[in-house]
Amino acid sequence: MAKFITIGERLSTTAPTVNKAFLARDPEPILARAKAQLDAGATYLDVNIGPAEGYGEDLMKWAVQLLQSNFDNVPLALDTSNKAAIEAGISVYNRSKGKPIVNSADAAGRIENIDLAAANDAIVIALCNGEGIAADNDERMGYCTTLLERGLSLGLSEDDIWFDPLFVVIKGMQDKQMDVLHFIGDLTAMGLKTTGGLSNNSNGMPKHIRPIMDSAMVAMAMMMGMTSAIVNPNDLRLMETIKSCDIIRNDTLYADSYLEV
Amino acid sequence: MPFTKKLQKFNATIRTVELGTGEKAVKLGGGSTFPFYTFDGPTANPAKIGIEISDMGLENEPDCIKAFYEGCGSVAEIAKKAASFEGVDFVVLKLEGGDPNGADKPVEELVNVAKEVSEAIDLPLVVEGCKNVQKDAELLSKVAEALQGKNVLLLSAREEDYKNIAAAAGLAYDQLIGAESAVDINLAKQLNVLIKQLGVDLGKVVMNVGSAAAGYGFDYVISTMDRVRAAALGQADDSLLMPVITPVSSETWTVKEASASEEDAPGWGPVEERGIDMEVETAVACLTCGSDAVILKHPTSIATVSKMIQALS
């Protein structure tokens, strides 16, 4: 059993400060956010540069080298729809602290990112969807099988394919939440690893509610065997919940100061 | 169907802690397999053996131990002799005379003994306190100061006195710290976390997770060692990835199997043999459950355990 892996989501072009810093190649805001996430206990950092048409290769290389040289080769998830940018990032990536993660492949237009991960000995996040969100778990499992078979046929280890069930928003899809959780249980029963953008579930909720809902969701997902999630590590309640669930799952040895390590 | 050997691989390695200085320095830990699982990977640093001596000289020793030190007039001479026995990797000086309920020797006197011993030998030195929390806090801090540059290991910092001892040994005087907990896996981890929070480099910490003589609650001791090593390697838990040292002789020589005279226990055989047997059996069980070093007393036990380590590493 291994500790739950957190992938910090705060280096994303969707945040205006980060977007501006990426475009200007301004290290300070990037390093500040990276440090805050690592200090809070993130294992991986997600580097979301957006589509970055035309300059993605240069930008991803810059970001990978900046982060790894400042933070002891911190492992990274390379997050962009720009395949050339992911490959460029991997070309300068140091693996001493963990393989790079390709974020992400799906069973439709982005299926070739499975091939990219296989060719580069990387981990890949495999979204269990095709065009649009799956209607039910049968459909999700169909996508999962497609992605798994493609990965294995190209020599990827099943440990290096992290399946994302796709968390769906509670405000609008409240009746689908248990489906997602049961699907995580199905993947766990198959011996597969799982991850996902956890905070999707609380989209549109008031700011003070989101940490509470995200914490409940991560606890239930971890009960189903979830092995990783893409989260905001600076959400203290969430991180405390994850650490507590790691104790209950016997993935970390308890000590009175467990929240501080 | 052909047999495919499946190796148990861990993504973690016990820290290597160097004890002593110069050519005779020894390396504790460094493993990334269970003890003696050479089929899973090479042994990094074979387990080490320390020989226990006391500031009280030979006063409290059984006759069979006294015989080995005939002619030694001072603790320093005892130390020199102890260091010369086959299989000895380091010397452990117990300052038991400091105990306020015993000889209650003053701190300065004990520090001088530690200095004399340190000067008399070229093997690495471990200094053990008198087990009294108040006295040890002062005593071990002063020893750490007096032996600066010798890279000695101080036994032990406990939950009650770690702040003084770990701060003196680890922060002020750059020595090694033994973190002692009594057969409590959660406390073993907690103590390491607390020591780290003082600012001490965990690379200077060796754990004593508890000890007992075989047959005396010993199953708790070895299951604690087992679980510490399994959690350290299996969960890659940084707060547990330190080598383990286990005092054995201080437990085994006082139990009745080792101490009852031949007149009192006529059917049990020679008292010296029983003492050696208890010491060897306890030490071997500790080593196979994860101790990276054991502390023994009888030269025959030390030679025997040393041979076993060489044969299995």
The 10s digit of each residue's pLDDT in A145-202 is: 999 999 999 999 999 999 999 999 999 999 999 999 999 999 999 999 999 999 999 9
| CA nearest to A256 within chain B | B190
Q: What is the DSSP string of chain B?
A: ----------S--PPEEEESSGGG-EEEE---SSTT-TTTS--SS--EEEEEEETTTTTTS-HHHHGGGTT--SHHHHHHHHHHSTT--EEEEE-GGG-TTTT---HHHHHHHHHHHHHH-SS-EEEE--S-HHHHHHHHHHHHHHTTTS--EEEEE-TTTHHHHHIIIIIIS--EEEEE-SS-HHHHHHHHHHHHHTT--GGGEEEE-----TTSSHHHHHHHHHHHHHHHHHTT-GGG-S-BEEE-HHHHTTSHHHHS-TTT-GGG--HHHHHHHHHHHHHHHHHHTT-SEEEE--HHHHHHHHHHHHHH-
Residue-wise pLDDT tens digits, A219-252: 999 999 999 999 999 999 999 999 999 999 999 9
Residue-wise pLDDT tens digits, B254-263: 999 999 999 9
Residue A61 has pLDDT above 70, yes or no: yes
Residue-wise pLDDT tens digits, B93-110: 999 999 999 999 999 999
* Of the partner residues B185, B194, B240, the one whose CB lies closest to the CB of residue A257: B194
What is the rounded average pLDDT of the residues B72-84? 97
Joined together, the tokens standing for residue A202 give: 């609380």
**Above pLDDT 90, what percent of chain B?**
96
Contacts B235 to A, Cβ<8 Å: 1-3, 251-253
The tally of domains found in chain A comes to 1
Q: What are phi and psi of B109, to 5 degrees?
A: -60, -45
What is the rounded average pLDDT of the residues B23-28? 97
| CA nearest to A252 within chain B | B235
**Domain chopping of chain B, boundaries:** 17-177+244-312
Contacts A96 to B, Cβ<8 Å: none
Q: In angstroms, rounded to a whole number, what is the distance separating the alpha carbons of residues A195 and B117? A: 58
Q: Does A1 touch chain B (CB under 8 A)?
A: yes
**Above pLDDT 90, what percent of chain A?**
97
Contacts A254 to B, Cβ<8 Å: 186, 189
**Above pLDDT 70, what percent of chain B?**
100
Contacts A4 to B, Cβ<8 Å: none
Judge if the upstream peptide bond of residue A104 is cis by omega within 30 degrees of 0: yes
Q: Cβ of A257 and B193 within 8 Å?
A: yes
Residue-wise pLDDT tens digits, B116-151: 999 999 999 999 999 999 999 999 999 999 999 999
A251 vs chain B: nearest CA distance in angstroms? 7
Q: Which residue intervals of A40-122 are DSSP H helices?
A: 56-70, 83-91, 112-119
| CA nearest to A4 within chain B | B235
Contacts A255 to B, Cβ<8 Å: 186-187, 189-190, 193, 239
Q: What is the DSSP string of B134-195?
A: HHHHHHHHHHHHHTTTS--EEEEE-TTTHHHHHIIIIIIS--EEEEE-SS-HHHHHHHHHHH
Q: What is the pLDDT of residue B89?
A: 98
Contacts A260 to B, Cβ<8 Å: 193, 197
Q: Cβ of A1 and B238 within 8 Å?
A: no
Judge if the upstream peptide bond of residue B239 is cis by omega within 30 degrees of 0: no
- Best residue of A95, A96, A246, A253 to probe chain B, by most B CBs closer than 10 Å: A253
The number of beta carbons lying within 10 Å of the beta carbon of residue B61 is: 19
Question: Residues 190..219 of A with a Cβ closer than 8 Å to B: which?
Answer: none
Joined together, the tokens standing for residue A145 give: 């099988």
Identify the CATH number of the domain in which residue A45 sits. Answer: 3.20.20.20
Q: Cβ of A253 and B235 within 8 Å?
A: yes
Question: Predicted confidence band at A109 (pLDDT cuts at 50, 70, 90)?
Answer: very high
Q: What is the pLDDT of residue A1?
A: 60
Q: Does A96 touch chain B (CB under 8 A)?
A: no
Q: Which helix (H) or strand (E) holds A130?
A: none
Question: Predicted confidence band at B4 (pLDDT cuts at 50, 70, 90)?
Answer: confident
Distance set, CA B189 to CA A130, A252, B13, B232, B286 (Å): 46, 11, 16, 10, 19
Q: Which amino acid, residue B204?
A: K
Q: What are phi and psi of B52, to 5 degrees?
A: -90, 130
A161 vs chain B: nearest CA distance in angstroms? 19
Q: Which is it for strands B26-29 and B16-19: parallel, antiparallel or unpaired?
A: antiparallel
Q: How many CB pairs under 8 A join A and B?
A: 35
Q: What is the pLDDT of residue A133?
A: 84
Paired residues of B247 in beta bridges? B295
Q: What are phi and psi of B155, to 5 degrees?
A: -110, 125
Query: Residues 6 or more apart from B219 whose CB is under 8 A from it?
Result: none
Contacts A3 to B, Cβ<8 Å: 235-236
Distance set, CA B122 to CA B22, B53, B306 (Å): 9, 15, 19
Q: Are A185 and A224 in contact (CB under 8 A)?
A: yes
Q: Cβ of B239 and A3 within 8 Å?
A: no
Q: Cβ of B238 and A261 within 8 Å?
A: yes
Question: Predicted confidence band at B163 (pLDDT cuts at 50, 70, 90)?
Answer: very high
Q: What is the pLDDT of residue A132?
A: 84
A217 vs chain B: nearest CA distance in angstroms? 24
Question: Predicted confidence band at B1 (pLDDT cuts at 50, 70, 90)?
Answer: confident
* Of the partner residues B186, B194, B197, the one whose CB lies closest to the CB of residue A253: B186
**Above pLDDT 70, what percent of chain A?**
100
Mean pLDDT (chain B, rounded): 96
Q: Does A2 touch chain B (CB under 8 A)?
A: yes
Containing structural domain, residue A61: 5-260
User: Measured in Å, how far apart are chain B's first and last C-alpha atoms?
Assistant: 31
Q: Cβ of B193 and A261 within 8 Å?
A: yes
Q: In angstroms, rounded to a whole number, what is the distance separating the alpha carbons of residues B308 and B313? A: 8
Joined together, the tokens standing for residue B123 give: 């093997």
Chain B interface residues (partner A, CB cutoff 8 A): 185-187, 189-190, 193-194, 197, 231, 234-240
Question: Residues 236..255 of A with a Cβ closer than 8 Å to B: which?
Answer: 251-255
Q: Cβ of A255 and B189 within 8 Å?
A: yes
Joined together, the tokens standing for residue A186 give: 């199905």
Q: What is the pLDDT of residue A261?
A: 86
Strands of the A76-79 sheet, one edge to the other: A193-194, A161-164, A123-127, A101-105, A76-79, A44-48, A5-12, A228-231
Residue B2 has pLDDT above 90, yes or no: no
Joined together, the tokens standing for residue A3 give: 């500790």
A63 vs chain B: nearest CA distance in angstroms? 27
Q: Cβ of A257 and B238 within 8 Å?
A: no
Selection from A198, A146, A148, A205 nearest residue A177 by Cα: A198
- Best residue of A257, A259, A260 to probe chain B, by most B CBs closer than 10 Å: A257
Q: Cβ of A253 and B189 within 8 Å?
A: yes
Q: Cβ of A255 and B235 within 8 Å?
A: no
Residue-wise pLDDT tens digits, B227-283: 999 999 999 999 999 999 999 999 999 999 999 999 999 999 999 999 999 999 999
Q: Does A138 touch chain B (CB under 8 A)?
A: no
Strands of the B176-180 sheet, one edge to the other: B205-208, B176-180, B153-157, B125-128, B90-94, B48-54, B293-296, B245-247
Question: Predicted confidence band at A55 (pLDDT cuts at 50, 70, 90)?
Answer: very high
Q: In angstroms, rounded to a whole number, what is the distance separating the alpha carbons of residues B302 and B300? A: 5
Q: Which helix (H) or strand (E) holds A233?
A: none
- B100-139 exposure pattern, b = at least 16 Cβ within 10 A, e = fewer: eeeeebebeebbebbebbbebbebbbbbbbbbbeebbbbb
Q: Cβ of A253 and B194 within 8 Å?
A: no
Fold of domain B17-177+244-312: TIM Barrel (3.20.20)
Distance set, CA A103 to CA A126, A168, A180, B44 (Å): 8, 18, 20, 38
